[in-house]
Structure 1
Amino acid sequence: MPRKIQCKRLGIEAEGLDKPPFPGPEGQRIYENISKQAWEEWLKVQTMLINEYRLTVFEPEAKEFLAREREKFLFGGSTALPEGYVPPKAAEDS
Protein backbone atom coordinates (compact mmCIF):
# COMPACT_ATOMS: atom_id res chain seq x y z
CA MET A 1 0.00 0.00 0.00
CA PRO A 2 1.45 3.39 -0.99
CA ARG A 3 2.49 5.76 1.77
CA LYS A 4 0.09 8.72 2.11
CA ILE A 5 1.15 12.19 3.19
CA GLN A 6 -0.50 15.59 3.50
CA CYS A 7 1.15 17.33 0.53
CA LYS A 8 2.22 20.90 1.30
CA ARG A 9 2.23 21.82 -2.40
CA LEU A 10 -1.17 20.41 -3.37
CA GLY A 11 -2.91 20.82 -0.01
CA ILE A 12 -4.37 17.31 -0.17
CA GLU A 13 -3.60 13.83 1.10
CA ALA A 14 -1.70 12.09 -1.67
CA GLU A 15 0.77 9.31 -2.38
CA GLY A 16 4.19 10.12 -0.95
CA LEU A 17 7.58 9.61 -2.54
CA ASP A 18 9.14 6.15 -2.22
CA LYS A 19 12.34 7.62 -0.78
CA PRO A 20 13.92 11.03 -0.22
CA PRO A 21 14.88 12.60 -3.59
CA PHE A 22 18.40 13.33 -2.31
CA PRO A 23 20.33 12.90 0.96
CA GLY A 24 20.28 15.32 3.86
CA PRO A 25 17.69 17.31 5.77
CA GLU A 26 16.16 18.98 2.71
CA GLY A 27 15.65 15.63 0.98
CA GLN A 28 14.01 14.30 4.15
CA ARG A 29 11.77 17.38 4.40
CA ILE A 30 10.60 16.87 0.82
CA TYR A 31 10.04 13.14 1.47
CA GLU A 32 7.85 13.91 4.49
CA ASN A 33 5.82 16.78 2.98
CA ILE A 34 5.68 16.52 -0.83
CA SER A 35 3.67 14.03 -2.90
CA LYS A 36 4.86 12.11 -5.93
CA GLN A 37 2.58 14.22 -8.12
CA ALA A 38 3.97 17.52 -6.80
CA TRP A 39 7.56 16.24 -7.15
CA GLU A 40 6.91 15.22 -10.76
CA GLU A 41 5.48 18.70 -11.43
CA TRP A 42 8.65 20.22 -9.93
CA LEU A 43 10.88 18.07 -12.14
CA LYS A 44 9.12 19.46 -15.23
CA VAL A 45 9.51 23.04 -13.99
CA GLN A 46 13.16 22.38 -13.12
CA THR A 47 13.82 21.07 -16.64
CA MET A 48 12.16 24.16 -18.12
CA LEU A 49 14.27 26.46 -15.91
CA ILE A 50 17.49 24.65 -16.85
CA ASN A 51 16.66 24.93 -20.54
CA GLU A 52 15.31 28.49 -20.56
CA TYR A 53 18.12 29.92 -18.44
CA ARG A 54 20.71 27.66 -20.09
CA LEU A 55 21.96 26.55 -16.69
CA THR A 56 24.99 24.37 -16.18
CA VAL A 57 23.69 22.31 -13.29
CA PHE A 58 27.07 21.49 -11.76
CA GLU A 59 27.90 25.18 -11.24
CA PRO A 60 27.30 26.41 -7.66
CA GLU A 61 25.24 29.42 -8.82
CA ALA A 62 22.90 27.19 -10.84
CA LYS A 63 22.51 24.78 -7.92
CA GLU A 64 21.67 27.65 -5.58
CA PHE A 65 19.18 29.13 -8.07
CA LEU A 66 17.42 25.77 -8.54
CA ALA A 67 17.34 25.19 -4.76
CA ARG A 68 15.65 28.58 -4.25
CA GLU A 69 13.15 27.94 -7.04
CA ARG A 70 12.45 24.42 -5.72
CA GLU A 71 11.72 25.86 -2.26
CA LYS A 72 9.35 28.46 -3.73
CA PHE A 73 7.59 25.93 -5.96
CA LEU A 74 7.15 23.17 -3.39
CA PHE A 75 6.57 25.17 -0.22
CA GLY A 76 5.85 28.75 -1.24
CA GLY A 77 3.30 28.59 -4.02
CA SER A 78 4.93 29.07 -7.39
CA THR A 79 8.03 29.95 -9.30
CA ALA A 80 8.35 32.80 -11.77
CA LEU A 81 8.49 31.84 -15.43
CA PRO A 82 11.39 33.25 -17.40
CA GLU A 83 10.61 36.48 -19.25
CA GLY A 84 9.27 35.69 -22.72
CA TYR A 85 8.73 31.99 -21.93
CA VAL A 86 6.21 30.33 -24.22
CA PRO A 87 5.18 26.83 -23.11
CA PRO A 88 5.44 24.09 -25.75
CA LYS A 89 2.18 23.18 -27.44
CA ALA A 90 0.50 19.98 -26.31
CA ALA A 91 0.65 17.05 -28.75
CA GLU A 92 -3.04 17.36 -29.59
CA ASP A 93 -2.52 21.03 -30.62
CA SER A 94 -0.13 20.02 -33.40
Structure 2
Amino acid sequence: MAHMVFCAKYKQELPGLDEPPFDSELGQKVYKTISQRAWNEWVERQKMLLNEYRLQPWTPQAQEFLVEQMNDFFYGSGGELPKEYVAPTA
Protein backbone atom coordinates (compact mmCIF):
# COMPACT_ATOMS: atom_id res chain seq x y z
CA MET A 1 0.00 0.00 0.00
CA ALA A 2 1.27 3.46 -0.92
CA HIS A 3 2.38 5.91 1.76
CA MET A 4 -0.55 8.37 1.91
CA VAL A 5 -0.23 11.98 3.06
CA PHE A 6 -2.50 14.97 3.38
CA CYS A 7 -0.66 17.10 0.84
CA ALA A 8 0.07 20.64 2.06
CA LYS A 9 0.10 21.92 -1.53
CA TYR A 10 -3.09 20.27 -2.81
CA LYS A 11 -5.03 20.07 0.45
CA GLN A 12 -6.12 16.48 -0.15
CA GLU A 13 -4.96 12.98 0.65
CA LEU A 14 -2.63 11.69 -2.04
CA PRO A 15 0.16 9.11 -2.41
CA GLY A 16 3.35 10.38 -0.78
CA LEU A 17 7.02 9.86 -1.42
CA ASP A 18 8.58 6.43 -0.96
CA GLU A 19 11.21 7.89 1.40
CA PRO A 20 12.32 11.29 2.69
CA PRO A 21 14.01 13.25 -0.13
CA PHE A 22 16.96 14.20 2.09
CA ASP A 23 18.26 13.37 5.55
CA SER A 24 17.18 16.38 7.59
CA GLU A 25 14.26 17.78 9.54
CA LEU A 26 13.01 19.41 6.34
CA GLY A 27 13.27 16.08 4.50
CA GLN A 28 11.06 14.48 7.16
CA LYS A 29 8.55 17.34 6.93
CA VAL A 30 8.35 16.94 3.14
CA TYR A 31 7.96 13.17 3.49
CA LYS A 32 5.05 13.59 5.92
CA THR A 33 3.23 16.47 4.17
CA ILE A 34 3.96 16.47 0.43
CA SER A 35 2.51 14.18 -2.23
CA GLN A 36 4.48 12.50 -4.99
CA ARG A 37 2.56 14.65 -7.48
CA ALA A 38 3.63 17.90 -5.77
CA TRP A 39 7.22 16.64 -5.41
CA ASN A 40 7.43 15.84 -9.14
CA GLU A 41 6.21 19.36 -9.92
CA TRP A 42 8.84 20.79 -7.54
CA VAL A 43 11.61 18.83 -9.29
CA GLU A 44 10.62 20.45 -12.60
CA ARG A 45 10.40 23.90 -10.96
CA GLN A 46 13.81 23.37 -9.37
CA LYS A 47 15.35 22.51 -12.76
CA MET A 48 13.88 25.69 -14.22
CA LEU A 49 15.25 27.79 -11.32
CA LEU A 50 18.69 26.24 -11.66
CA ASN A 51 18.74 27.01 -15.37
CA GLU A 52 17.15 30.46 -15.30
CA TYR A 53 19.35 31.75 -12.49
CA ARG A 54 22.37 29.72 -13.61
CA LEU A 55 22.78 28.36 -10.10
CA GLN A 56 25.55 26.04 -9.02
CA PRO A 57 23.65 23.62 -6.74
CA TRP A 58 26.71 22.65 -4.69
CA THR A 59 27.12 26.21 -3.35
CA PRO A 60 25.59 27.13 0.02
CA GLN A 61 23.96 30.23 -1.50
CA ALA A 62 22.18 28.21 -4.19
CA GLN A 63 21.09 25.58 -1.67
CA GLU A 64 19.67 28.23 0.66
CA PHE A 65 17.84 29.87 -2.24
CA LEU A 66 16.36 26.54 -3.38
CA VAL A 67 15.20 25.67 0.15
CA GLU A 68 13.45 29.06 0.39
CA GLN A 69 11.83 28.51 -3.00
CA MET A 70 10.79 24.96 -2.07
CA ASN A 71 9.18 26.13 1.18
CA ASP A 72 7.25 28.81 -0.70
CA PHE A 73 6.26 26.33 -3.43
CA PHE A 74 4.90 23.76 -0.97
CA TYR A 75 3.80 25.76 2.05
CA GLY A 76 3.48 29.38 0.89
CA SER A 77 2.15 31.26 -2.10
CA GLY A 78 3.53 28.74 -4.60
CA GLY A 79 6.59 30.75 -5.54
CA GLU A 80 7.09 33.28 -8.27
CA LEU A 81 8.67 32.56 -11.61
CA PRO A 82 11.74 34.55 -12.66
CA LYS A 83 10.76 37.80 -14.44
CA GLU A 84 12.55 36.78 -17.63
CA TYR A 85 11.12 33.24 -17.71
CA VAL A 86 9.26 32.26 -20.88
CA ALA A 87 7.41 28.97 -20.66
CA PRO A 88 8.31 26.48 -23.40
CA THR A 89 5.72 26.01 -26.09
CA ALA A 90 4.54 22.52 -26.86
What TM-score, normalized to structure 1? 0.92
Corresponding residue for residue 24 of structure 1: 24
Gaps of 5+ in 2: none
Q: State the number of aligned residues.
A: 90
The answer on whether the counterparts of 1:9 and 1:77 sit within 8 Å (CA) in structure 2 is no
What TM-score, normalized to structure 2? 0.96
Give the partner amino acid of 2:23: P
Q: How does 1:29-40 map to 2 (within 5 A)?
A: 29-40=29-40
Q: How does 1:65-76 map to 2 (within 5 A)?
A: 65-76=65-76
Runs of 4+ in 1 over 3 A off after TM superposition: none
Q: For the pair shown, which has the larger CA radius of gyration, 1 or 2?
A: 1
Corresponding residue for residue 54 of structure 1: 54
Root-mean-square deviation (Å): 0.7
